[in-house]
Every structure is written in C-alpha cells, then in structure tokens.
C-alpha cells in the first residue's frame, strides 16, 4: 500500500496525526545527523511525546510545530510524510536563512517541486543509499523498510558526518 502513496490523493493528503506519519529516525541515521549538527539536537519541532530523537526541546501534537517559533541554533526535522511536509521544508529554509544549523530528512522524491525547493537552498544533500528502516510502530513490533529512498538536506552543518550513509553533494 505504501508504494501507492504518490498516486493516491487520499494518502498524499492524509492528516498530520495519521499513524503512518510516524517514521522514527533509526539510530544509524540519527547519530550522524546529530554529529553533523555539532553533537546536539537543540530542537525537534515534529516528534512524538517521548522525544525519540533526544532533542533538548521538542514539539509534538496537538501543538503545531510548523506554526510555532523555532528559536534554536541546531534543528533536526523529519516531518510528517505525504503532502503535509511542504510547510516544514519552508520552515527549514527560513530557519537556515536566519542562521540556524538545520538538517532535514525527507523522501528522495526527485520529481517533486518541494524536493527541488530544498535542493535550491541547502548547502548539501546526502542521498541515502538503500532504504531507511524507520521505526514505524506496527502491531507486530517489526520495523519495515521505507517504500522510498531518503535525502538529508543540510544547512551550515558538517555534512562529512553523513557521507557514509550514501552520496553527499555540495553546493
């Protein structure tokens, strides 16, 4: 079903609170991202109540992290999936323009406008080799590999920390 997401408006426009929006960043990607941000995730603006990324500050539903201020210098964003991620990408660009270190993990959908918006702004992008195994909570407790490739966009980060995850392209 997941692979059909791009072709179904019902799935693409599903709400932020839908359970399938929860793609927890696996540790093997999270720790290099943390290192690229300088060792600490100061703000995770879209996450679960138990703060799985260990951010110093975090925002979760029912608060809207895409609408609240991001007053932080090191920000990691793995936004809710489907079409809903567009406003998060714009917030990342705004935070980076204001001087923050920002890492953004989104699907590597190279055909989409929002991917190219991020590409035109970021200092670097790491195209992850293979498919990340997100910690998607499932009834059987097993992790499932994503149905898509992933890209990690960075602004003012140490992108060398991400190189082993795939291929890193710099501006």
Question: What's the token pair of residue 73?
Answer: 């210098």
In this structure, the strands spanning 101-107 and 150-155 are antiparallel
Tracing tokens 């260990």 back to the chain, one arrives at 54
Q: Compute the least distance from the CB of residue 61 to ligand SAM, in Å.
A: 5
Assess 154 for contact with ligand SAM (CB under 6 A).
no
Nearest to 153 by CA among 81, 111, 93, 99: 93
Assess 146 for contact with ligand SAM (CB under 6 A).
no
Question: Site for ligand SAM (CB under 6 A): which residue of 14, 36, 47, 121?
Answer: 47
Q: Compute the least distance from the CB of residue 133 to ligand SAM, in Å.
A: 12
Assess 5 for contact with ligand SAM (CB under 6 A).
no
Nearest to 104 by CA among 42, 150, 38: 150
Q: What are phi and psi of 33, to 5 degrees?
A: -65, -45
Biggest alpha carbon–alpha carbon distance for the chain = 43
Question: What's the token pair of residue 15?
Answer: 């709400």
Distance, CA of 44 to CA of 158 (rounded, Å): 18
Q: Compute the least distance from the CB of residue 101 to ligand SAM, in Å.
A: 16
Q: Compute the least distance from the CB of residue 111 to ligand SAM, in Å.
A: 21
Question: What's the token pair of residue 12?
Answer: 């693409």
Question: Site for ligand SAM (CB under 6 A): which residue of 16, 34, 115, 126?
Answer: 16
Q: Which is nearer to ligand SAM, 32 or 80 (CB)?
A: 80
Assess 156 for contact with ligand SAM (CB under 6 A).
no
Assess 78 for contact with ligand SAM (CB under 6 A).
yes
The residues that touch ligand SAM, with contacts defined as CB under 6 A, are 16, 21-25, 44, 46-48, 52-53, 59-61, 63-66, 78, 80
């Amino acid at each position: 079903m997941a692979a059909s997401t791009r072709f179904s408006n019902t799935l693409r426009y599903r709400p932020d609170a839908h359970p399938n929006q929860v793609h927890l960043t696996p540790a093997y990607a999270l720790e290099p991202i943390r290192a690229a941000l300088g060792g600490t995730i100061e703000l995770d603006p879209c996450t679960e109540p138990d703060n799985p990324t260990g951010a110093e500050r975090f925002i979760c539903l029912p608060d809207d992290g895409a609408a609240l201020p991001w007053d932080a210098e090191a920000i990691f964003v793995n936004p809710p999936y489907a079409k809903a991620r567009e406003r998060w990408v714009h917030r990342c660009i705004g935070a980076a323009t204001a001087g923050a270190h920002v890492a953004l993990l989104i699907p590597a959908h190279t055909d989409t406008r929002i991917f190219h918006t991020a590409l035109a702004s970021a200092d670097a992008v790491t195209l992850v080799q293979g498919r990340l195994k997100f910690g998607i909570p499932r009834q059987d407790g097993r992790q499932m590999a994503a149905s898509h490739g992933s890209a990690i966009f960075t602004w003012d980060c140490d992108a060398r920390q991400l190189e082993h995850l795939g291929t890193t392209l710099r501006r």
